[in-house]
Structure 1
Amino acid sequence: MKNVIINQPALRHTSQNISSRRLPSEVESQASPKDLYFSKTWSPPEIASRGATGCTFVGDPEGEAQKVAEENGRFAVELYSRLAAKTEGNLFFAPFGISTALAMTYAGANGETSKEMGGVLHFNEFPKENLHQAFGRVAKDLTSRLDREDCTFTVANRIWTQDGARVEEKFQKTVGDAYGALAETLDFKDSQAATETINSWVAEKTKDRIRNLIPPCVLNEDTPMVLTNALYFKADWACKFDPRHTFDAPFQTRERQSIVTPTMHQTGTFRYGEFYLDNEKPPSSVNRPFFVDSPDVQVLELPYAGGDLSMVFILPKDQETLSKVEKSLDPDQVSNWLGGLSDKKVVTSIPKFNLTSSFKMKEILSEMGMGRAFSAGADFSGINGEKNLSIGDVIHKATVEVNEQGAEGGAGTAVVVLESFKRDPDFSADRPFLFAIRDRNAGILCMGRVSDPTRTE
């Protein structure tokens, strides 16, 4: 779940963490007339796909939607590196949801505020109008393709404004047309009623997986606007794990403690690769004798039903390598790893896990370069025609559960590779690993780290 809370800097602001228990849901559908601020409804366009790993978008002759997806992936990896450095233990977040909520807010930013946000989000190379149209095509393509009983990814956006507050027509139209963000007026002075209204909407969009998202007393008379994004994900594995082959197995945590956790087992042909962090060492494509050092990183991609979504597992060989990977992780490296995968028969051992993470993003986003948006000098005049708004905080919470059937809440990608002259490689996730949910076209949607699969946080 993703919230952006807008402040009026001149007024007293009370900021509290917003908590929830599940990752949000579903594409914004029809609303009653009283809910609508925008003249256009958000209906998915026709999509034309091409190839196993690429896609073309109808109405995207310049390839801007694909470029937006690529830049979202860069932001995802950069944000992961920041979060990983500040987070102990397990970690999970949905960068696609964060990008979406901030993109809507960015639609109202001007001047240096816009420039800083655009730099962090990798938006500056796009004219604003083109950006939002292209971002909208990415989201609509994603949700229209992933609308199956065995693989679903839904997105909902909503803007909540103070009753009587001015909102620029251009801003309303942009977020409505591109992001399907319906708007609703509330009286934030009645904190309890406003909170109940938003929480009820979230519960509906998440199929009751997130309840009481906003705790009491967070909203008040100093809150002119809240921008809310909700994601929901549920998908079956293309090749499900047999529960009869799940049994307790050892796992060494990040603290080097040996624990026992339910672990799934399967042998199959998946996309897989082995890689070194030191470029002078031979890549996985080279035939290596058994006495050569083991690779620094194994990468496994496990597809979900339909083949569009997958979970990618990045398994460093030890704790020291995990730290190296996270410190040096960059978008180009991830892209090279994914590009180096090939179909191999692999013996896989993956622990079942259920993670929930919650973040207040103000500090990290400020460190990344968009601090002005959170300051009294912010310029969001594109929202209300005045320079009296700033972002109070960006609250994010995400959850993912992975089991024999598949994943719910969010997902990651798993890749498999084998050198054919050797025995089947063993991908045994019995130590901390990274994972990501990846769409063949939209790129990285969620990322995380499992340090202890027996813990939920």
Structure 2
Amino acid sequence: MGPVWLWLLGAGILPSVHCQPFSAHGDKSLGVPHAPRDHLSSPDPAYHKITPTITNFALHLYKQLAAETSGNIFFSPVSISTSLALLSLGAQVNTSTQILEGLGFNLTETPEADIHRGFQSLIHTLDLPSSKLELKVGNSLFLDKQLKPQQHFLDTIRELYGAFAFSANFTDSATTRRQINEYVRKQTYGQVADGLQEFTQDTLMVLLNYIFFKAKWKHPFSRYQTQKQESFSVNERTSLHIPMMHQKEMHRFLYDQEMACTVLQIEYSGNAMALLILPDPGKMEQVEAALQPETLRKWDQWLLPSLLDLHLPRFSISGTYNLEEILPLIGLTNIFNLEADLSGITEQLNKTISRVSHKATVDMNVWGTRAGAASSLLSQPQALNATLASQARFNRPFLVLLWEMTTQSLLFLGKVVNPAAG
């Protein structure tokens, strides 16, 4: 039996697809099941057990990506970790343990059931409707019609991850790829287009996770002060003239002398914020090496409201990665060898994952930010300063972290090296 695509995606809302959903009762509806609310009423929601681990995983993965590329970086830690955690439900014990430990979970401290309940709680909370923040999270599984999925697996991923399984005709690979890409495009409001790379007629399965984020700045930038071009130093040899957004506004802000960087928090309307990190000239590698969860916690305590004269480039960047080359370097090794066992999905499926692709995009402008992401796995045989404005000029490479505040989730993480690179 040939390769199996498993796709981790980031962005979206549910449209209709030309594939039939699997159902124990023959129900073909696409109604989205909601996670049970009982565990959310406790004082310590279940997602608290997983969000610090997702942040840690994000920083580890970021450092590997930064070592591989000198250009823009952008990905969704929530998208990738959700997809891998869901995949672990279809793996036998050894492979499942490898996946969850590779994500950074200590299974002695946090049992597997707590991890999945944590993701259930996280997806449910992120997906709660909000008038100020557009945030959609979801999962879908496309299986070739010749496969007979395990009903227990389908029931479990639907209950815990709100994931629907669809029967698809992978024999007609071109049509199925086009249909799934259209599904992704709609999920991400067009933010991720043609995210699914070509697959062969041997492809049997695609796993999708989508996360879409659209937020308006709490204090929007003036359109009329954003027309002028300013210089942006991509590196020592290259500078560009790009549109720079400008405002004088109160923001939480600090300069970390020890790490040689400026840190700025910009709030969105709704429970979201962007953390922007601007290393001093020549200090990017030093800042990247020192990025730890403790650093982020320290900054959160030290940030103080200041009146800022802020210059921030308008940018639209994306990142596309073959993570199968990078994930083993941070511990996810067993899902890429012949010992991996995914027969919990379907008895006919005992394959290794040979490709994990992920695509994410972000658009930051005067009104706010849109972001989406996509990924896939292929399996194969202090003082308030209100008078004098400090200046923060983001005219060289900087880091971007997009957070959802209720769950303390790191939705997206990236580096802007060239704002005009797309």
Interval containing the TM-score (normalised by the shorter chain): 0.7 to 0.9
Partner AA of 1:79 in structure 2: L
Deviates more, 1:112-121 or 1:241-250: 112-121
Match of 1:260 in 2: 241
Deviation of the 1:256 alpha carbon = 4.1
Match of 2:12 in 1: 25
The superposition leaves residues 180-234 of structure 1 with CA deviations (integer Å, 9 ceiling, x where unpaired) of 1100112222212322331232233223444443344x1423x232101122221
Give the match's secondary structure for 2:121: helix
Alignment of 1:192-203 (within 5 A): 192-203=174-185
Deviation of the 1:30 alpha carbon = 9.0
The superposition leaves residues 156-193 of structure 1 with CA deviations (integer Å, 9 ceiling, x where unpaired) of 31101121313222221221111111001122222123
Q: 1:136 to 1:19 in 2, by over 3 A?
A: closer
Alignment of 1:53-72 (within 5 A): 58-60=40-42, 63-72=45-54
The superposition leaves residues 350-378 of structure 1 with CA deviations (integer Å, 9 ceiling, x where unpaired) of 01101011001001111111111011111
Distance in 1 between residues matched to 2:258 and 2:94, nearest whole Å: 38
Alignment of 1:134-145 (within 5 A): 134-145=118-129
Distance in 2 between residues matched to 1:79 and 1:382, nearest whole Å: 27
Deviation of the 1:342 alpha carbon = 2.1
Q: Are residue 43 (structure 1) and residue 8 (structure 2) matched?
A: no
Give the match's secondary structure for 1:434: strand
Match of 2:204 in 1: 224
The superposition leaves residues 131-173 of structure 1 with CA deviations (integer Å, 9 ceiling, x where unpaired) of 212211111111215x32x420112311011213132222212
Deviation of the 1:429 alpha carbon = 0.5
Give the match's secondary structure for 1:427: strand
Report the TM-score when normalising by structure 2: 0.87
**Residue number among 206, 210, 218 corresponding to 1:238 in the alignment:** 218
Distance in 1 between residues matched to 2:280 and 2:156, nearest whole Å: 47
Q: Are residue 327 (structure 1) and residue 297 (structure 2) matched?
A: no
Match of 2:330 in 1: 368
Partner AA of 1:331 in structure 2: P
Alignment of 1:436-455 (within 5 A): 436-440=401-405, 441-455=407-421
Instruction: Decide whether the 8 Å contact of 2:20 with 2:167 is kept in 1.
Output: no
Q: Are residue 166 (structure 1) and residue 130 (structure 2) matched?
A: no
Distance in 2 between residues matched to 1:19 and 1:356, nearest whole Å: 16
Instruction: Decide whether the 8 Å contact of 2:253 with 2:304 is kept in 1.
Output: yes
Instruction: Decide whether the 8 Å contact of 1:101 with 1:227 is kept in 2.
Output: yes
Give the match's secondary structure for 1:261: strand
Q: 1:318 to 1:45 in 2, by over 3 A?
A: farther
Structure 1 gaps of 5+ residues are 1-10, 48-56, 279-295, 412-416
Partner AA of 2:264 in structure 1: L
Instruction: Decide whether the 8 Å contact of 2:323 with 2:356 is kept in 1.
Output: yes
Partner AA of 1:130 in structure 2: D
Deviation of the 1:419 alpha carbon = 6.1
Partner AA of 2:311 in structure 1: S
**Residue number among 297, 303, 306 corresponding to 1:344 in the alignment:** 306
Deviation of the 1:19 alpha carbon = 12
Report the TM-score when normalising by structure 1: 0.81
Distance in 1 between residues matched to 2:396 and 2:384, nearest whole Å: 23
Distance in 2 between residues matched to 1:82 and 1:397, nearest whole Å: 16
Distance in 1 between residues matched to 2:7 and 2:157, nearest whole Å: 23
Partner AA of 1:43 in structure 2: H
Match of 2:399 in 1: 434
Give the match's secondary structure for 1:424: strand
Give the match's secondary structure for 2:326: helix
Q: 1:386 to 1:370 in 2, by over 3 A?
A: farther
Distance in 1 between residues matched to 2:350 and 2:323, nearest whole Å: 21
Distance in 1 between residues matched to 2:50 and 2:200, nearest whole Å: 33
Distance in 1 between residues matched to 2:211 and 2:41, nearest whole Å: 25
Q: 1:99 to 1:394 in 2, by over 3 A?
A: same
Distance in 2 between residues matched to 1:336 and 1:253, nearest whole Å: 28
Match of 1:269 in 2: 250
Instruction: Decide whether the 8 Å contact of 2:192 with 2:372 is kept in 1.
Output: no
Deviation of the 1:421 alpha carbon = 9.3
Instruction: Decide whether the 8 Å contact of 2:141 with 2:206 is kept in 1.
Output: yes
Match of 2:97 in 1: 115
Distance in 2 between residues matched to 1:433 and 1:32, nearest whole Å: 42
Deviation of the 1:263 alpha carbon = 0.6
Q: 1:114 to 1:215 in 2, by over 3 A?
A: closer
Instruction: Decide whether the 8 Å contact of 2:213 with 2:370 is kept in 1.
Output: yes
Distance in 2 between residues matched to 1:371 and 1:107, nearest whole Å: 17
Partner AA of 2:144 in structure 1: Q
Deviation of the 1:258 alpha carbon = 2.6
Instruction: Decide whether the 8 Å contact of 1:275 with 1:297 is kept in 2.
Output: yes
Instruction: Decide whether the 8 Å contact of 1:433 with 1:449 is kept in 2.
Output: yes
Distance in 2 between residues matched to 1:161 and 1:336, nearest whole Å: 45
Instruction: Decide whether the 8 Å contact of 2:253 with 2:265 is kept in 1.
Output: yes
Deviation of the 1:36 alpha carbon = 4.2
**Residue number among 251, 254, 275 corresponding to 1:312 in the alignment:** 275
Distance in 1 between residues matched to 2:230 and 2:341, nearest whole Å: 54
Instruction: Decide whether the 8 Å contact of 1:45 with 1:141 is kept in 2.
Output: no
Partner AA of 1:328 in structure 2: A
Instruction: Decide whether the 8 Å contact of 1:432 with 1:451 is kept in 2.
Output: yes
Instruction: Decide whether the 8 Å contact of 2:399 with 2:416 is kept in 1.
Output: yes
Instruction: Decide whether the 8 Å contact of 1:378 with 1:387 is kept in 2.
Output: no
